[in-house]
Amino acid sequence: MGYWLFKSEPDTWGWPDQVARGDAGEEWHGVRNYQARNNMRAMKVGDRGFFYHSNIGKEIVGIVEVCRESQPDSTTDDPRWDCVCIRAVQPLLRPVTLETCKVQPGLEKMVLINNSRLSVQPVTADEWRIICDLGGLA
C-alpha cells in the first residue's frame, strides 16, 4: 500500500470539510504542479494519506484514503491536470505538528520538511508508522 500526504489550507478546505463529505469523498482538484500530479497518478484505490493543514495549524490532523484513481480535474479544461478522490478515515487523536516532525528522529527526510511547497507528497512506510504513533493511533 502507498502512503501519501495531502496539504490544504484549512481556510479553503480543512479537515472538517473533508469529514463532512463522508465516504463519498472529495475530488482533490486544483493541483497545478506536475510533481504533485504525478504522485496522484501513482496512487491506487485504498492507499492511505495524511491530511495536513498548511499556514494555519501546520499540523497533520487526519488520515484519508484514496477512493478513486486519478481522473481529469473537473475544475479545468486543461487536459494536463487530473486528480484522485479522497475520503476521511479518521482523525489523529493528537495532531502532529510540523515542529514535532522537524525534531523527530526518523522524519529528517520527510518531503514535508525538505520540500515544503509540494502539495501532494509521498510518505515512506517508516514515516507513516512514526507519525501514527505520535498521533496516538495504534
Cβ distance to DNA smaller for residue 9 or 133: 9
- Exposed / middle / buried, residue 64 (Cβ in 10 Å: 0-12, 13-18, 19+): buried
In three-state secondary structure terms, 5 is: strand
Q: How many residues bind DNA (CB under 7 A)?
A: 16
* One-letter amino acid of 19: V
Interaction between residue 94 and DNA (CB under 7 A): no
Interaction between residue 116 and DNA (CB under 7 A): yes
Cβ distance to DNA smaller for residue 18 or 24: 18
Cβ distance to DNA smaller for residue 31 or 130: 31
Interaction between residue 48 and DNA (CB under 7 A): no
- Cα angle vertex 121, ends 119, 125, to 5°? 155
Segment (H or E) for 122: strand 120-123
Residues of the shown chain interacting with DNA in the complex, contacts defined by CB under 7 A:
7, 9, 32-35, 54-55, 58, 98-99, 115-119
